[in-house]
Structure 1
Amino acid sequence: MEQQVDQNQNQLVGSAKLLLGVGLDNFISLLVFGLIFILGVLGNTLVISVVARSKPGQTRSTTNIFILNLSVADLSYLLFCVPFQSTIYMLPTWILGAFICKFIHFFFTVSMLVSIFTLSAMSVDRYVAIVHARKASWIRVGRHATLGVVLIWILSVGMAAPVAHYQNLVEREDNSSFCWEVWPDRHRRVYVMCSFVFGYLLPLALISVCYMKVSAHGAPRARDAGIRRGED
């Protein structure tokens, strides 16, 4: 009886794999990809449509410009990278050619760096608005924010360029190909270290310092306000 149950279970699993064609684990990964894609596209499209809409004669705030840039970077990644990356879980070999292989990994790195640098710029913008309120009126203008966005994209593209250079198709003996990074060892170590420092450590330090100063600036005012309420 138990053997028959086991056989039935094995047949069900085998049938599921044949039906899906990709295996249960890969099918679950594809479902996650699909969920992220749908929710991400809908959410970022909604944000872009709301933030990009401005009244005639009204300039966009610096905060809105940075939020718009963040959403554009996320939406671009979802549209240009996720559909191609999902083929890794559906196909046993890479069939999309060398250009797509290079592009999706390059653009993944670009969009990630754009998001990180934009969050850093938003923390600086918030710091200027609160700590240097008197100067904020001429520092926090749309022209400066737009220039910052352009510089963010240029810097991100420059930092991601080595990824496009070293991402290549790797051929195997069975004529299957894979999209893989082929770095000289020394170059890879240098790039990983630079990416960690400039793409993670320094932005994290900048964001932390900005919000620490914002908190320190706001603490005395909150304390004074509490004292005044107590006196009243």
Structure 2
Amino acid sequence: MEQQVDQNQNQLVGSAKLLLGVGLDNFISLLVFGLIFILGVLGNTLVISVVARSKPGQTRSTTNIFILNLSVADLSYLLFCVPFQSTIYMLPTWILGAFICKFIHFFFTVSMLVSIFTLSAMSVDRYVAIVHARKASWIRVGRHATLGVVLIWILSVGMAAPVAHYQNLVEREDNSSFCWEVWPDRHRRVYVMCSFVFGYLLPLALISVCYMKVSAHGAPRARDA
């Protein structure tokens, strides 16, 4: 009886593996990808639908423009990158071609940089609104925020261009292929250093300084109160 139960369990496990075609760890990764995709698409779509809606004759605030840009970048990544990246866990080889290989890694970098630079712009916007309240009325206008968003995308695309250039299909000995970055060593070191400085250190420093200034500006008022 116990032997028959064990055989049935083994058959169920074997059938599950055959049905899924992937290992348990890869299956869990796919579930996580799916959860992130569904929640991310729903959340960002809701934000975009709310923020993008404006009354006739009413201009969007700079904050709403930056939030809208942040949601667009996140939603674009979810729609154009996550479904393709999930195939890595389902298939033993890359079958989507060289263009998709280059595009998803390029656009992943673009969306990441857009998010970072937008958060930096939002911190500057908040700094101007609080510390320079008298000047804020003509600095914090929709036209300036829109121009900032355009510059953010141009800068992000420019910084991500090397990723698209060096992302290639690499052939294995068994005639399978995978999508990988193939950089000359010197170029990789230079790019990693520049990305770290301009995509992390400087934005972090800018955000930190802005919020320290905002905190310092509000401290005297709190003491007086």
> Same fold by TM-score, threshold 0.5 exceeded?
yes
Distance 1:57 1:167 in 2: 46
Q: Residue 13 of structure 1: CA displacement?
A: 3.5
Q: Secondary structure at the match of 1:93?
A: coil
Q: Residue 137 of structure 1: CA displacement?
A: 0.4
Distance 1:175 1:38 in 2: 35
Preserved contact between residue 16 and residue 24 of structure 1 (Cα < 8 Å)? no
Q: Residue 57 of structure 1: CA displacement?
A: 0.6
Q: Secondary structure at the match of 1:136?
A: helix
Distance 2:72 2:49 in 1: 11
Distance 2:8 2:138 in 1: 73
Aligned identity (percent) is 100
Report the CA distance shift for 1:6/1:199 in structure 2 as closer, same or farther (over 3 A).
farther
Q: Residue 10 of structure 1: CA displacement?
A: 5.0
| 1:101 maps to 2:101 | yes
Distance 1:73 1:16 in 2: 37
Q: Structure 1 runs of 4+ off > 2 angstroms?
A: 1-16
Q: Secondary structure at the match of 2:170?
A: strand
Report the CA distance shift for 1:93/1:134 in structure 2 as closer, same or farther (over 3 A).
same
Q: Residue 147 of structure 1: CA displacement?
A: 0.3
Distance 1:168 1:23 in 2: 26
Q: Residue 15 of structure 1: CA displacement?
A: 2.9
Unaligned stretches of 5+ residues in structure 1: 226-232
Preserved contact between residue 168 and residue 180 of structure 1 (Cα < 8 Å)? yes
Question: Pairwise mapping of residues 132-143 of structure 1 onto structure 2 (< 5 A)?
Answer: 132-143=132-143
Q: Residue 87 of structure 1: CA displacement?
A: 0.5
What is the TM-score of this pair, normalised by structure 2?
Answer: 0.96
Distance 1:3 1:203 in 2: 63
Q: Residue 35 of structure 1: CA displacement?
A: 0.5
Unaligned stretches of 5+ residues in structure 2: none
Residues 129-159 of structure 1 deviation map (CA, whole Å, 9 limit, x = unaligned):
0000000000000000000000000000000
Distance 1:212 1:79 in 2: 36
Report the CA distance shift for 1:183/1:10 in structure 2 as closer, same or farther (over 3 A).
farther
Distance 1:4 1:138 in 2: 80
Residues 157-178 of structure 1 deviation map (CA, whole Å, 9 limit, x = unaligned):
0000000000000011211010
Equivalenced residue count is 225
Q: Residue 222 of structure 1: CA displacement?
A: 1.2
Q: Residue 100 of structure 1: CA displacement?
A: 0.3
Distance 1:196 1:12 in 2: 49
Preserved contact between residue 106 and residue 164 of structure 1 (Cα < 8 Å)? yes
Distance 1:19 1:86 in 2: 17
Q: Residue 14 of structure 1: CA displacement?
A: 3.1
Distance 1:19 1:33 in 2: 19
Aligned-residue Cα RMSD (Å) equals 1.5
What is the TM-score of this pair, normalised by structure 1?
Answer: 0.93
Distance 1:26 1:156 in 2: 31
Report the CA distance shift for 1:185/1:9 in structure 2 as closer, same or farther (over 3 A).
farther
Q: Residue 2 of structure 1: CA displacement?
A: 9.0
| 1:220 maps to 2:186 | no
